[in-house]
Structure 1
Amino acid sequence: MKPTKISELLVLTGVAAVATWILIRVFYGSMPPIPVYAGASLYLAAIAEVILAFVIRSRIKGSQIGDGYRQLHPIAAARALALAKASVLVGSATTGVWIGALVYLIPQRSVLKAAAEDTPGAWVGLGAAIALVAAALWLEHCCKTPEDTPDEPAH
């Protein structure tokens, strides 16, 4: 599987940001308030992925790959890689959503009381989304197989 391209993530983030800004601009008056904890659940996913990344990394470095006790099963590594790929896309799209929200909210804070109250929740969500992207990219990196060492020539 090919590594995730940062350029693709930036495009996804940009599209989500523009779409969110347009939607919020049109529908902000009928939207519910953004609580501070709205995006915080992504922090839990990011923490779980970082822990998983360190476990996988240590097992791969220790050549503990197989189906025995305390070994990393290859299917588990493939599932972790699929989780990382999905999470990086979700995190990038969510980053764009929170950026789009903040682009609308920040200038409106002095005009709309609701915008001032919604801004902290958007910042928390943005931080969580960025943390998820970073954790997912780290997990993806940790799922790489170690480079094969060339065979030593016979003496």
Structure 2
Amino acid sequence: MTPTRPRDLFGVALVAAVVVGILVRLSYGSLPEMPLGAGATLGVLGIAEAIGGNVMRARIRRKPGTQPVQPLVAARAVLLAKASSLAGAIMTGAWAGLLAHVLPLAGTVTAAGNDALAGGIGLVCSLGLVGGALWLEHCLRTPDDPRDDDPDDGPPVGDHP
């Protein structure tokens, strides 16, 4: 399994933004007003994944006072990180597509102003989910040699200058 590439997530977000932007443009008049905290859940998930990444990183590096990570737990966490980064990218695109339509109308249409605020919160929170997921995935990488992180240990055994 390869690490998630940010450019792939950007491509997914771009496609989602175009699709949602077209759908919103065609049906904005019949859509209900967006709740202000509609995207806040994504931000909470992003924070939880970032915290989880720090915990898993300490366990993988076998810091004192931590238990080793079971391989199945690590595999599930990687799956969660990959799925969350993709979902966050899709939602980032969706919020961007909504904002592309409502921001120009925000000064003249009250509902568009409220939707722009909700869209801004949603966009920031979905970017937080992508960031938290990428951090979790990064933290789950196993070090090649535990001594690689400690420059005072000297070169690994078997390396010759």
Q: Give the TM-score, by structure 1 length.
A: 0.90
Within-5 A mapping of 1:57-68 = 57-62=57-62
Report if aligned partners of 2:4, 2:82 keep a CA contact under 8 Å in 1.
yes
Q: SS at 1:62's partner residue?
A: coil
Deviation at 1:141, TM superposition (A): 0.3
Deviation at 1:118, TM superposition (A): 1.0
| Partner Cα separation in structure 2 for residue 111 and residue 147 of structure 1 | 58
| Partner Cα separation in structure 1 for residue 53 and residue 80 of structure 2 | 11
Deviation at 1:112, TM superposition (A): 1.8
1:18 partnered with 2:15: no
Partner of 1:122: 119
Report if aligned partners of 2:43, 2:129 keep a CA contact under 8 Å in 1.
yes
Within-5 A mapping of 1:1-150 = 1-62=1-62, 70-148=67-145
Letter in 1 for 2:158: E
Q: SS at 2:104's partner residue?
A: helix
Deviation at 1:63, TM superposition (A): 6.6
- Segments of structure 1 that go 5 or more residues without pairing to the other structure are none
Give CA-to-partner distance per residue, 1:38-79, whole Å, 9 cap, x none.
Answer: 000111211110111011100111278xxxx93211111111
Q: SS at 1:34's partner residue?
A: coil
Letter in 2 for 1:152: G
Letter in 1 for 2:81: A
Q: Give the TM-score, by structure 2 length.
A: 0.87
Letter in 2 for 1:10: F
Give CA-to-partner distance per residue, 1:3-32, whole Å, 9 cap, x none.
Answer: 111111111010000111100000001101
Report if aligned partners of 2:92, 2:126 keep a CA contact under 8 Å in 1.
yes
| Partner Cα separation in structure 1 for residue 108 and residue 24 of structure 2 | 15
Report the aligned-residue RMSD: 1.7
Deviation at 1:151, TM superposition (A): 4.1
Percent identity between the aligned chains?
43
Partner of 2:151: none
Letter in 2 for 1:15: V
| Partner Cα separation in structure 1 for residue 45 and residue 128 of structure 2 | 9
| 4+ residue segments displaced more than 6 Å | none
